Structure 1
Amino acid sequence: MYVSFDQLPPEARIWIYQANRPLTDTELTRVQPALAQFAAAWTSHGRTLHASAAILHHQFLVIGLDEAMADASGCSIDASVRFVRELETSLGVELLEKSRLAFLVDGEVRLLDRRELRTAVAEGQLQPDTPYFDNTIARHAQLAQAWPAPAAETWLARYFAGK
């Protein structure tokens, strides 16, 4: 069952998929019906899931699930990944690639290859307070509270330990 993304409860489970580039307004308009259709049709062992999906910051697909109504099963998770792959194909973007980290710099999402992180910190390109999109967060409430969060307040803290 489709639930408006902003109506998901704070404890709703989320999965974040980061695109390798920002989506255009035209692409966002085109993909909205597919997001709602996926959420409306998503099931787990025949049970309707209370779910939603949204594109945030023109670059992040976020799928949300109210687990208080019904949990996702392995098969339903597989179905969501298939949906993400279909979006990759239809939009010509990568959503499942995990080697790039996203930061908010001058109001824009900037991607950095994970292998370049240590150098970027050493050269001062990234500061402890640089907003970082930690796509490992798992609850809807965290989107508003800590996404993006200062890099030094996330798992990246160890890179700033000596600063």
Structure 2
Amino acid sequence: MLVDFKTLEDEARVWIYPCNRKFYPQELEPLKEKLKSFIEKWKEGEGCKCSFQLLYDRFIVFGANEEAVITNQDLDKQVAFILELQVAYEVELLDKMNVCFKQGEYTQYKTVKEFKKLIKNKSVNSKTIVFDNLVQTKFDLENYWEVPITESWYNRFL
């Protein structure tokens, strides 16, 4: 059952798919409709509360309440849907090892190798905000997703 993301409990599981670019303004409404349609069918009939968010016009976030039994088959459906979006929008959504970070008002997406060069060149520093796309709960998303490099696993590159 599709619910407002805000109504999911703190322990709700989340999956974050960072996009290698912002979705274009003309892509946003059709994308939101596709996301809504997917979530409505994903765990249909099981009383599962599920939701999605599109953050910074770049990150697709799925959420499911803690009581929801998410099987490997359910995750396979989710990944298959993400693969369809990659093709439809000509984007990369599954490479979680690339680094997403804020640079001024912009969100950047770089390979780890490029990110290390930015640190070496002092284009990025210990105060730079990075996105930890490996967080697993709604609480962690809200509290530990956007953190300074020093509070993330990327601090090893400093």
Q: Structure 2-normalised TM-score? A: 0.92
**CA displacement 1:108-134 (0-9 Å, x = unmatched):** 111121112332212211111100011
Conserved in 2, the CA contact under 8 Å of 1:102 and 1:111? yes
**Residue 152 (structure 2) pairs with residue 141 (structure 1):** no
Conserved in 1, the CA contact under 8 Å of 2:96 and 2:133? no
**Residue 55 (structure 2) pairs with residue 56 (structure 1):** yes
**Residue 30 (structure 2) pairs with residue 10 (structure 1):** no
Q: Hey, what's the Cα distance between the residues in 1 that align with 2:70 and 2:97?
A: 26
Amino acid at match of 2:77: A
Superposed displacement of residue 86, structure 1: 1.3
The residue that corresponds to 2:95 in the other structure is 97
The residue that corresponds to 1:65 in the other structure is 64
Conserved in 1, the CA contact under 8 Å of 2:20 and 2:92? yes
- Structure 2 unaligned residues grouped into runs of 5+: none
The residue that corresponds to 1:156 in the other structure is 154
Q: Hey, what's the Cα distance between the residues in 2 that align with 1:138 and 1:98?
A: 13
Superposed displacement of residue 25, structure 1: 1.9
Per mean C-alpha deviation after superposition, the further-off stretch among 124-133 and 83-92 is: 83-92
Of all paired residues, the percent bearing the same amino acid is: 30
The residue that corresponds to 1:108 in the other structure is 106
Q: Hey, what's the Cα distance between the residues in 1 that align with 2:109 and 2:115?
A: 11
Q: How many positions carry a matched residue from both structures?
A: 158
**CA displacement 1:77-103 (0-9 Å, x = unmatched):** 001101111111222211112342110
**Residue 18 (structure 2) pairs with residue 32 (structure 1):** no
Amino acid at match of 1:74: N
Q: Hey, what's the Cα distance between the residues in 2 that align with 1:48 and 1:79?
A: 18
Superposed displacement of residue 35, structure 1: 1.1
Q: Structure 1-normalised TM-score? A: 0.89
- Structure 1 unaligned residues grouped into runs of 5+: none
User: What SS does structure 2 have at the residue aligned with 1:102?
Assistant: strand
User: What SS does structure 2 have at the residue aligned with 1:63?
Assistant: strand
Question: What is the CA RMSD across the aligned residues, in angstroms?
Answer: 1.6
